[in-house]
Amino acid sequence: MKLKTDNLEHKYADVPLRVKTWVYIILVFVLAISHPLAMKIFISYIGFQVFLEFLRMFQIKINLIIASLGIGITQFLLLFFLNFENYFLYALGISLLVIMLFLIRNSSLKQLSGIVLGLVIALFVFPHLVFLREGILGVKALVFLVVVTELNDVFQYVMGKSFGKRKIMPKISPNKTWAGVVGGVFLTLILSAILGYFLLPSPLVVNIVLGLILGISGFFGDIFMSLLKRRTNVKDTGQLLPGHGGLLDRMDSLIFNLPIFFWVFTVWLKTNL
């Protein structure tokens, strides 16, 4: 009996630290969405941190802080001065310029792939949070996406810890189990239906479909980052968030969910409202 209790305590040993970090994450998120300028600053910081974590992961020999600050500051200026239509065009131009600079430095193919991925995720993925906030539904759509995505992560973690036995991809993500994913996605469907009723103008069926898409897509975002970490031989992308790792470790599910939700839901809004 004591052995079983010890195993249970070991299984959930990191939960208190994770919960404590979650409190800080929620406070920062609430402050960020409280004002458009705060949101732009927040996303620019994410751009800085994401690029920094990619530079470290792929062991790119350069002044990491200065290079990452350059991306973060540039992103803030683009978000502050440009509208949605022009942002991506200028971001593409800057990304190509950065890639050319690393080509001139004779960076390896592996390093270039890290630079490209870092630029795409920093400059093209996470800015969708700003555009969601500035869209038709504003903060409501943003809160829906982030809450559903992050709780899907929590659901899969808890269900996997509680019932998971059969692993999906043990060599890539040893903690991912079929019970965790299936149970997590099922709970996400329920959450999406309930939260969508209060935050979105879409009908129940659409909200359930959104929950299914975000649950599955979030899983693949997690697998994507796990694969990158395996390829670069790192356990975590950083140490920014105690109990979670780096920013990418915590926000990996948003990598696919952000653009998918933004474009799918934007198209639905334009055709149904």
Per-residue pLDDT of the chain (273 residues; tens, 9 = 90+): 554 555 555 555 677 888 888 889 999 999 999 999 999 999 999 999 999 999 999 999 899 999 999 999 999 999 999 998 899 999 999 999 999 999 998 889 999 999 999 999 999 999 999 999 998 888 999 999 999 999 999 999 899 888 878 899 888 888 889 999 999 999 999 999 999 999 999 999 999 999 999 999 999 999 999 999 999 999 999 999 888 899 999 999 999 999 999 999 888 887 886
Q: Half-sphere exposure of 242 toward its Cβ, with a 13 Å CA cutoff?
A: 9
Look up the pTM and report it.
0.91
Give me the sign of the Cα torsion angle 114, 255, 45, 94.
Answer: positive
Angle, to 10 degrees, between the axis of helix 204-231 and the axis of helix 139-163?
Answer: 60
